[in-house]
């Protein structure tokens, strides 16, 4: 395995539009040579949400860095503020909503259980996509 070392300055991270005004900045992943983690930060505009989904092949840790975010894990909901975190096992349905008065920023770290790419399965459609791919978009319908 090749030895990889990267300094990843925030202002040099790619900016990926996910839909609904949600913007993701991937940090560490396959493009840096990572095989077991995938991380990034995501901006959520006020009143928007990441739709219900799961990651069949990855565990996920989420930390709120800015704002107020309602996180729903299966049927359990919690309002989270800066530095509150969650751990989500692979395959557990979850969603995030910005319930604050300012844009929210969350850090997401995936621990890949198998394969080298994290996937997302949307609860409403059953569609599975690779995280960060062109198909990893959220419907513009705010209620979707």
**pLDDT attached to residue 144:** 41
Residue 136 domain flag: no
Instruction: Give a yes or no: residue 31 inside a domain.
Output: no
Q: Is residue 110 part of a domain?
A: yes
Distances (CA, A) of 4 to 25, 127, 138: 20, 33, 32
Q: What is the pLDDT of residue 23?
A: 97
Whether residue 81 lies inside any domain: the answer is yes
- The reported pLDDT for the residue numbered 143 is 47
Contact 88, 60 (CB under 8 A): yes
Domain that holds residue 68: 38-130
Cβ neighbours for 120, distance < 8 A, ≥ 6 positions apart: 53, 54, 55, 128, 129, 130, 131, 136
Q: Which domain CATH number covers 100?
A: 2.60.120.10
Note whether residue 143 is domain-resident. Answer: no
The CA distance from 23 to 99, in Å, is 17
Looking at the domain assignment, is residue 101 inside a domain?
yes
Question: Within a domain: residue 78?
Answer: yes
Q: What is the pTM of this model?
A: 0.86
* pLDDT mean values, one per 10 residues, the chain (144 residues): 82 93 92 87 97 95 98 94 97 96 98 80 91 83 49
Structural domain contains residue 29: no
Number of domains present in the structure of the chain: 1
């Amino acid at each position: 395995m090749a030895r990889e070392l990267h300094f990843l300055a925030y202002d040099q991270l790619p900016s990926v539009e996910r839909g609904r005004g949600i913007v993701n900045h991937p940090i560490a992943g396959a493009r840096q040579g990572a095989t077991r983690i995938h991380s990034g930060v995501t901006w959520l505009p006020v009143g928007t949400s990441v739709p219900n989904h799961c990651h069949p092949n990855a565990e996920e840790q989420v930390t709120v860095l800015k704002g107020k975010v309602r996180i729903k894990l299966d049927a359990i909901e919690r309002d989270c503020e800066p530095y509150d975190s969650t751990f989500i096992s692979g395959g557990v349905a979850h969603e995030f909503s910005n319930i604050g008065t300012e844009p929210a920023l969350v850090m997401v770290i995936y621990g890949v259980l198998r394969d080298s790419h994290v996937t997302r399965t949307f609860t409403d459609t059953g569609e599975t996509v690779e995280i960060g791919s062109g198909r990893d978009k959220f419907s513009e319908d705010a209620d979707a």
